[in-house]
Structure 1
Amino acid sequence: DVRAVMDAVGSRRAAFYGASEGAAMCILFAATYPDRTAALVVRSAYPRRMWAPDYPWGLTEEGYERDVERDLRIFGARDRAGEAVRRLGRFDDEELMSAVDLFRFGSSPGSLEALHRMNKEIDVRHVLPAVRVPTLILHGSEDTIVPVDVARYMGSRIPMARVVEIPGAGHLADRESAAAIAAEVERFLRDLWDAGGWEEGEPDRVLATVLFTDIVGSTAKATELGDRPWRELLERHHALIRRELVRFRGAELDVAGDGFFARFDGPARAIRCACAITESVRELGVEVRAGLHTGECEVMDGKVGGIAVHIGARVAKEAQPGEVLVSSTVKDLVAGSGLRFRERGTAALKGVAEVWRLYAVEHAE
């Protein structure tokens, strides 16, 4: 947890540098914690790895399998390992073997396959407009892994972004053109400092995951029990949910009858909290349904609002008894978390223009 490390070392605010797949984590952090992010620098970055109709630069399934097979050659004969690494950039023979050794000693076949699986699931495109900190996007003009058009795509969607192409550099631009990369980063941060950009402000918009829960058939249950037993059940219900919110570091924002509205700074923890809630309340003889969405929210006096909140509430209404339902955005942001989902099709959410693809959580260790 990046924030935990910052807290441990006493760092209130920092500039973040993310390369290749590491950029997605930095993008997510910057959007979630603009108050802790002075600036963002990404190099050879991509918001999504796989092809989609509206994202033509990604890998096809065939291309993905080919990449995995080719990269695993790093752990074979050194000449074949060199072939696998050479596509990352321009190297002389000595530099190539040094890069091969770096990959060999820094990973294992299993961890490399796991990294590829995680990269396959990454999709932070919806997050890009929520990054509201000064951003520098560095990209090699000859990158054959992630085309430079991806950098331009990201630059057009991050509001305060500047794209700098490094002439002649490939995917490992910081190895091929270290001096040029360092100069661009230094210039960017120095200009930001001189302009007073490191001064902390109060963000009015943040990326957040919202959770909505309510008891299924609550009116019938209240009628069946009567006023006092129903009130006692609600008190126990509220206590159980608040216990899980504390456990998973969620913030309670509102309670309306048997319905809870909470906010999280991490989608994976929000999902695990929702699953824990649906399990724990069963001891009360009731079922709850839960819905989650991640999006850019307006911050007003410690509360959050905006279209993302409305989408989260509508997702919850689509959930079945005992089910945790999430939007496609939430699913895309928890790649590598171990969470598993079942597709529930698309839904036209009331009051929301877009049709959303929804997923039910199947596994949340």
Structure 2
Amino acid sequence: MKVQANGLAIEVEDTGPVGDRPPVLLVMGLGMQLTAWPQPLVDALVRAGHRVVRFDNRDIGLSARFDHLGAPNLRWESMKLRFGMSVRAPYTLADLAADAFGVLDALGIAQAHVVGASMGGMIAQRMALAAPQRVLTLTSIMSSSGARSLPGPQPRVLQVLLSRPKDRSEPTVLAHYVRVFQAIGSPGYPTSAEDLRQRILESVRRGGYRPAGSARQLAAVVADSTRAEELRRIRTPTLVLHGADDPLVPVACGEDTARRIPGARFVAIPGMGHDLPPAVVERLLDPCCRIWR
């Protein structure tokens, strides 16, 4: 369903009971739709008595598009970043956090446990900084503080990420994304190529192929240069979960995030990369449920 959030049309899935347990807001990462949250995770949270809210971030899936802002030149902006210059982005992570609060407002939710994956973890961090009274707990999964000294993707992964499909036909786009997700996936919990193809096909047919939206989101991530130093202000109970074998956002990024947030608990999951296969979901649930008690 569509809601008006922060003045935008945002696509939302609202699942589970409105009961005594606080809602859980799931915030997905760069270029990923709400359907990227595994259904077994949503089902487990609902069985535990939580209302679960997922949504498409702006510029992806079925939510509001920002094509009128154009596509940023990421190579140029990255070069500026290396030389210590400010990076320009069509919008900011703070804007994306405001969208998330707008979703809660539209649903009449005053407070929630906020769980973010990858870029979603960064948005969740921004939410805890902007309105801590609304974030009961913060869970940052396979994400980063954004500190410039942290390591980046493995070279083989970066090469795949920088490649582009030769055309926008469904088979070509599908093959491209299969290569991407195989490159960043969990080495200890591999997903078959057929399962990947099916999930990606469903995603592409639902929300289309929107590389410019992903580029604008990435520009917002790169431009968020002050968050690492601000994290020390967070007093929200925080859990940082990270794959010990993440080839895209190395585990050092999760360790750094936990170090910067006072009292944060850090959990590394051996064999986990930069995805959420079923066996990893099972490993995530216990520490999440513990922090919510």
Q: TM-score range by the shorter chain?
A: 0.5 to 0.7
> Structure 1 71/18 Cα, relative in aligned 2: closer, same or farther at 3 Å?
farther
* Residue number in structure 2 paired with 1:97: 197
Map 1:16-165; keep pairs closer than 5 Å: 16-48=114-146, 52=148, 55-58=149-152, 67-69=161-163, 76=172, 78-89=174-185, 90-105=190-205, 106=207, 107-123=209-225, 124-165=227-268
Cα RMSD for the two superposed structures:
3.1
Is the deviation greater in 137-146 or in 91-100?
91-100
How big is the shift at 1:104? 2.7
How big is the shift at 1:110? 2.3
Give the whole-Å Cα distance in 2 for the aligned partners of 1:98 and 1:130: 42
* Residue number in structure 2 paired with 1:4: 102
Secondary structure at the residue paired with 2:266? strand
Secondary structure at the residue paired with 1:82? helix
- Structure having the higher strand fraction is 1
How big is the shift at 1:47? 2.3
Give the whole-Å Cα distance in 2 for the aligned partners of 1:14 and 1:94: 36
Give the whole-Å Cα distance in 2 for the aligned partners of 1:83 and 1:5: 33
Aligned residue pairs total 186
* Residue number in structure 2 paired with 1:213: none
How big is the shift at 1:71? 8.0
Quick one: which amino acid aligns to residue 57 of structure 1? P
Runs of at least 5 residues in structure 2 that lack an aligned partner in the other structure: 1-98
Question: Over residues 284-323 of structure 1, what are the superposed CA-to-partner deviations in whole Å (9 max), with x where a residue is unaligned?
Answer: xxxxxxxxxxxxxxxxxxxxxxxxxxxxxxxxxxxxxxxx
> Structure 1 70/121 Cα, relative in aligned 2: closer, same or farther at 3 Å?
farther
How big is the shift at 1:16? 0.4
Quick one: which amino acid aligns to residue 67 of structure 1? L
Give the whole-Å Cα distance in 1 for the aligned partners of 2:281 and 2:153: 28
Q: What is the TM-score normalised by the length of structure 1?
A: 0.45
How big is the shift at 1:169? 1.0
Give the whole-Å Cα distance in 2 for the aligned partners of 1:73 and 1:141: 35
How big is the shift at 1:131? 1.2
Which protein, 1 or 2, shows the higher relative CO under an 8 Å CA cutoff with sep ≥ 6?
2
* Residue number in structure 1 paired with 2:112: 14
> Structure 1 102/86 Cα, relative in aligned 2: closer, same or farther at 3 Å?
farther
Moved over 6 A (4+): 63-66, 71-75
Secondary structure at the residue paired with 1:159? coil
Instruction: Note if contact 1:44-1:171 (Cα within 8 Å) is conserved in structure 2.
Output: yes
* Residue number in structure 2 paired with 1:263: none
Give the whole-Å Cα distance in 2 for the aligned partners of 1:130 and 1:77: 42
Give the whole-Å Cα distance in 1 for the aligned partners of 2:183 and 2:165: 10
Give the whole-Å Cα distance in 2 for the aligned partners of 1:36 and 1:171: 28
Give the whole-Å Cα distance in 1 for the aligned partners of 2:210 and 2:276: 24
Instruction: Note if contact 1:27-1:127 (Cα within 8 Å) is conserved in structure 2.
Output: no
> Structure 1 83/8 Cα, relative in aligned 2: closer, same or farther at 3 Å?
closer
Give the whole-Å Cα distance in 2 for the aligned partners of 1:34 and 1:78: 40
Secondary structure at the residue paired with 1:47? coil
Quick one: which amino acid aligns to residue 265 of structure 2? R
Instruction: Note if contact 2:237-2:264 (Cα within 8 Å) is conserved in structure 1.
Output: yes
Give the whole-Å Cα distance in 2 for the aligned partners of 1:118 and 1:71: 23
Secondary structure at the residue paired with 1:173? coil
Secondary structure at the residue paired with 1:101? helix
> Structure 1 43/146 Cα, relative in aligned 2: closer, same or farther at 3 Å?
same
Secondary structure at the residue paired with 2:139? strand
Identity score, percent: 25
How big is the shift at 1:15? 0.9
> Structure 1 2/82 Cα, relative in aligned 2: closer, same or farther at 3 Å?
closer
Give the whole-Å Cα distance in 2 for the aligned partners of 1:15 and 1:37: 6
Give the whole-Å Cα distance in 2 for the aligned partners of 1:71 and 1:153: 34
Map 1:1-365; keep pairs closer than 5 Å: 1-48=99-146, 52=148, 55-58=149-152, 67-69=161-163, 76=172, 78-89=174-185, 90-105=190-205, 106=207, 107-123=209-225, 124-173=227-276, 175-190=278-293
